[in-house]
Amino acid sequence: MPFVNVDLDDSSPFVLLRIWFNIPRLYPGANMEVYVSPSGVGWHVKTDYEVDAFNYIVSQALLWADPVRTQYALRKLYLNPGEQHLDLMFDEKEGKSETAVPFTQILSKYAPEVTQITINIKEGKYELADQNIKDLAKKISPELDRYHKSSYVGCIGISKQDADAKDKLETILLDIAHKDISFKYRWYPSFYPDYEWILALYGSDKDQLWKRLTWLKNKTLLKDLNTPLWVKQRITT
């Protein structure tokens, strides 16, 4: 049976802490360890808690795992009901290995904050616990920054009049993601008045992101649309 593990593409200490505090609530007795993923950007949260295949997928939904990765795990289970190897986390990729992070040791420096968060979760004060976690994330962020590489996001703006291009482009994006697990993307409703959607690609290599953006721009239906492209460094929160 698979273990309850979470592969985070996001380097956010807030999301990492959320998972760290919610695993004991959902899976009492689970032992936890944190690693930097082989890419040097995301996190691997590993436990020794075993579940069946269906509840593994449930665990991914409950613990904010990557939705595309969870979608593929669900597809595998649907196509093969006896499938047990649903964990798509790689300890090693492209010759690089994950790196252990002394997360328990880091948190030991903030014992009062950890205790208060635990109390608030047990008492069902989830909004207060979330705020406490945000505050703690700011405190431990400088220490965690030493363990991961810089992360970038590449964006393409889709205008209101071209909003139907989103569904057509999604088919292409899913096909790429299926063939290349390093291809990470998400759609966001745009806060810019001239655009309906923002397509965001994620990675640790700024030049590679730009190449992927320009390939999408020049080789897909986007070539006929007025779509701005940009890459910027992500700031973890």
pLDDT category of residue 41 using cuts at 50, 70 and 90 = confident
Question: Tell me, what's the pLDDT at 106?
Answer: 97
CA end-to-end span of the chain? 34
The three-point CA angle 126-131-133 to 5° equals: 90
- From CA 100, how far away is CA 102, in angstroms rounded? 7
Q: Domain boundaries in the chain?
A: 6-147, 152-233
Kindly state the DSSP code that residue 58 receives in the 8-state scheme: H
What digits encode the pLDDT tens for the residues 42-96? 899 999 999 999 999 999 999 999 888 888 888 888 898 888 777 766 665 555 6
CATH class of residue range 152-233:
alpha beta
Of 139, 154, 136, 138, which is closest to residue 216 (Cα–Cα)? 154
Please tell me the pTM assigned to this model. Answer: 0.70
